[in-house]
Amino acid sequence: MSKKEKVVYKEKINWKKEAALLPGYLIVLIWIAFTAAFLIWILAASLSTSREIFSGAVFKFESGFHFENYANAWNSSNVSVFFMNSLLYSVVSCVAVILISAPAAYVLSRYIFLGNKPIKTSLILAMSIPEVMIIMPIYALTAQYHIRGRILLMVLYIFIRVPFTTTYLLNFFASLSRSYEEAAAIDGCTPGKTFWQIMLPLIQPAIVTVTIFNFLSVWNEFFMALIFATSTEMTPVGVGLLQIVNGMKYTGDYGGLFAAVIIVFLPTFLLYIFLSEKIIAGVTGGGVKG
Amino acid sequence: MKRKKSFIIAFILPCLLSLLIMYLYPVIRTVLMSFFGIESVTASVSDWTFNGVDNYIKIFGSPTFQRAMTNMLLIWLVGGIIVLCFALLFAVILTSGIRFKKFFRAAIYLPNIISAVALATMWIQYIYNQDYGLLNQLLEAVGLEGKNWLGTDMKFWAMLFAFCFGAVGYYMLIFISGIERIPADLYEAATIDGANKIQQFGSITMPLLRSIFKTNITFWSVNCITFFLWSKMFAPVSTEASTIVPVVYLYDTVFGTTGNVQRDAGAGAAIGVVLAVFVGLIYFIMNKLIKDDDLEF
C-alpha cells in the first residue's frame, strides 16, 4: 500500500491536464484572492489610525503598528464584556444541550414507548419553525416572571439547540450494536449506568461534531440576542458589534472598530483553521445547517 | 419493568420540556395572538380583544409589508440564481480533479463560519465605503468614477451581493457531496462514447443532481423567508424601504422603531404566521415537485 502511494506521489505533473483545468483554477483563485485581500485589509486597518484608513494608506504603517486599537476596543468599547458573555453562552449551552439531548436521543433510538414517533417528528418540525414564531410568547413569558440577565439568553440558547442536537445524535445511537447493552445487562449494569459509562463514550466523535456546530451557532447568534439582551452586561458579540458600529458616528475610531471586528471573528476563525475538515464533513454528512 | 419506565421518563423529560416550553407553547400562543388585537407584546391575555382576521387584512394592506415582501422575493429570485450558479460552478471546478481541492473548498466555505455581523461590518465599512472602499478604488484605478454604494438607489443590491458572497460556500458543499456520489464509471463510459465535458455535465451531472437541487432550493427559500441580519446591518438605526424585509417589519411592528412608539403585537404575530406558512408551503411544494429519488446508482 505504502509503495503504491509513493508511486502516485512521484507521478509527474500532467501539464496537459492541468492546462485544461486552467480556467477553473483562475475562477477559484480570483474568488479566494478577493476573500484574502478583504481579510488582510481589515487586519491592516485594525492596526492603523483613522486618518491612515481614510487616506488609503493602511499598508504603509507610517506611524507604526497601533496595537492600542485592540486595547481600546477591548476596554473602552466594552468588547471584553461582549466577548466574555458570548464565551459563557457558547460554553454553557454546548455542555447543557449534550446533557439534555444525548439521553433523549438514546432512549428515542433504543426503546419503543408511547410518544416515541411523535417526539421524533416534533424535533424535526421544531428545527424548521422560524424563530419569529416563538420569540413573542417567550418575550411575554420572561417579562411576566421577571427573568432577565445572562441566565435568560443562556437558557434560550440551550433550548434552541435541543432539536438539532437530539436529531443528530439519534442516528449515531441507532447505528450502535445492541450487544454492548446485552453484555452490560448480564454483568448487572443498570440502564442508566450503561448509558453514561458505555454508550455515551462510544458516540464521542458525533458529540464533538455537533458541539462544534452548536458553538458556532451560539457564538454567531444575532436575532434572539437583539431582542432579549436589554443591557450591556448580557450582550453577546454580534449585537455588541452592531452597537459599536452605531456608536461610530460619535467616536470616529475606525481603527478600534476594525480591531473589534477582528476580535469578534477570531475565535470561530481559529476553530475553523484547526477543524475545517471535520466541519465540512459535518455539513455535507448531516445535510443540515448547523 | 417499572424501573425501565422511570428510566425512560427521566431520560426523555428534559428534552420534552424544552420542546413544550420553547416550541409548542409559543407557536400556539403566536397563532392565537394573530387573531387578537394586542398592543404590547407583554399584555396579559385579559387585555386581548378578538378581531378575527383584521390583523391579516391590516398587514396585507400595508404598503410597507408589500414592499418587504417584494424585497424578499427579489432576494429569493436574483440572489438564488446568483448563489446557486456560483455554488454549482465552484462545485464542478473543485470536483474536476483540481489540485489543492481541500484548501479551496475550505477557503470558499470560510465566510459561513465568521460571525455574519462581522462580515457585514467588513462589507459596509470597507468594500462599499465611498472614501477608501475597495470597490471605488478599483473603479478609480480603471478610470471610472466612484459611487455611493450605500445610497438609497444602490443599497439593496449592495446588500444582496454581500449576502450572496457569504452564502455561496454552503450551497457549494452540498453540490460537491452530490457530485461525488455520482459513480465515476458513468463518466468513463460517456468519455469512451465520445461525449465531451460539457455534454457530460448536461446529460449526467445535472439530471443526477435533481435531489441535491431540491435540498439547496429548499434551504435557500427558508433562508430568504427568515432573512433579517443583513437588512438590519445595512439599515441599523432606522429601517429603510430599500432594504426592508418581512422579519424586519415584524420586529418594528412588535417592538417599535425610533421615533415611532406605536406597536402592534397582534399584527406582528400575523406576520410570523404568514412566514411560517410560507416555510411550510416550501417544504410541501418541493416534496411534491421533485420526488425523492427514484434514481439508484
Query: Which of A136, A218, A263, A265 best tests the B interface by mutation, with the highest count of B CBs <10 A?
Result: A136
> CB count, 10 Å around CB of A212?
20
Distant-in-sequence, close-in-space partners of B241: CB < 8 Å, separation ≥ 6: B64, B67
**How does residue B295 score in pLDDT terms, banded at 50, 70 and 90?**
low
Report which secondary-structure segment, H or E, holds A56.
none
Whether the pLDDT of residue A201 is over 50: the answer is yes
Cα separation, A200 vs B11, in Å, equals 13
Contact B89, B149 (CB under 8 A): no
Average pLDDT over residues B109-130: 90
C-alpha dihedral sign at A226, A227, A233, A236? negative
ipTM for the complex? 0.88
Query: Which of B13, B18, B274, B287 best tests the A interface by mutation, with the highest count of A CBs <10 A?
Result: B18
Per-residue burial over A63-82, b = 16 or more CB atoms within 10 Å of its CB, e = otherwise: eeebeebbebbbeebbbebb
Could you tell me which chain A residue has the CA closest to the CA of B18?
A: A159
Q: If you search the block for the grid coordinates 456560483, which residue do you land on?
A: B86
Q: Is B52 left (phi over 0), alpha (psi -120 to 50) or beta?
A: left
CA-derived radius of gyration, chain A: 25
Q: What's the confidence (pLDDT) of residue B81?
A: 96
> CB count, 10 Å around CB of A230?
11
> CB count, 10 Å around CB of B141?
8
Q: What's the confidence (pLDDT) of residue A156?
A: 94
Of A123, A264, A283, the CB nearest to B173: A283
Contacts of B271 in chain A (CB under 8 A): 132
The model's pLDDT over A227-249, given as tens digits with 9 standing for 90+, comes to 999 888 999 999 999 998 888 76
Write out the three cell numbers for A252: 470616529
Cα separation, A235 vs B126, in Å, equals 25
Helix, strand, or coil (residue B113): coil
Spatial CA neighbour of A280 closest among B161, B177, B208: B177
The model's pLDDT over B127-157, given as tens digits with 9 standing for 90+, comes to 898 888 888 888 888 888 777 888 888 899 9
Spatial CA neighbour of B116 closest among A31, A67, A162, A226: A226
Contact B211, B293 (CB under 8 A): yes
Cα separation, A171 vs A174, in Å, equals 5
pTM of the model: 0.89
Say whether B126 and A159 touch across the interface (CB within 8 A). no
Q: What's the confidence (pLDDT) of residue A289?
A: 38
Q: What's the confidence (pLDDT) of residue B2?
A: 67
Helix ranges restricted to H, chain B: 2-19, 25-33, 54-61, 63-74, 80-94, 101-109, 116-122, 134-141, 152-181, 184-192, 197-200, 206-208, 210-225, 229-234, 246-255, 265-289
What does the DSSP 8-state code read for residue A176? S
Average of per-residue pLDDT values in chain B = 89
Contacts of B19 in chain A (CB under 8 A): 119, 122-123, 126, 162-163
Could you tell me which chain A residue has the CA closest to the CA of B17?
A: A159
Q: What's the confidence (pLDDT) of residue A213?
A: 93
Contact A132, B255 (CB under 8 A): no
Say whether B11 and A276 touch across the interface (CB within 8 A). no
Cα separation, A58 vs A50, in Å, equals 9
Contact A288, A168 (CB under 8 A): yes
The model's pLDDT over A44-95, given as tens digits with 9 standing for 90+, comes to 888 888 878 777 777 777 777 888 889 888 888 889 999 999 999 999 999 9
Q: What's the confidence (pLDDT) of residue B30?
A: 95
Contact A91, A238 (CB under 8 A): no
Q: What's the confidence (pLDDT) of residue A9?
A: 52
The model's pLDDT over B191-210, given as tens digits with 9 standing for 90+, comes to 888 888 888 888 888 888 88
Contact A173, A199 (CB under 8 A): yes
**How does residue A12 score in pLDDT terms, banded at 50, 70 and 90?**
low
Could you tell me which chain A residue has the CA closest to the CA of B90?
A: A28
Furthest C-alpha separation in chain B? 82
Whether the pLDDT of residue A136 is over 60: the answer is yes
Query: Which of B23, B128, B201 best tests the A interface by mutation, with the highest count of A CBs <10 A?
Result: B23
Cα separation, B59 vs B83, in Å, equals 30
Higher pLDDT, B76 or A8: B76
CB pairs below 8 Å between A and B: how many?
252
Average pLDDT over residues A202-212: 92
- For B37, phi then psi, to 5°, come to -85, 110
Per-residue burial over A106-124, b = 16 or more CB atoms within 10 Å of its CB, e = otherwise: bbbbbeeeeebeebbebbe
Helix, strand, or coil (residue A193): helix
Q: To the nearest whole angstrom, how far is the Cα of A134 from the nearest Cα of chain B? A: 5
Helices A116-128 and A79-110, packing angle to 10 deg: 150
Q: If you search the block for the grid coordinates 454604494, which residue do you land on?
A: B149
If you write DSSP's letter for every residue of B133-171 in order, what string do you get? -HHHHHHHHTTPPP--TTSHHHHHHHHHHHHHHHHHHHH
Strands B49-50, B36-37: pairing is: antiparallel
What does the DSSP 8-state code read for residue B125? I
Cα separation, A201 vs A196, in Å, equals 8
Contacts of B26 in chain A (CB under 8 A): 133-138
Amino acid at the residue A114: L
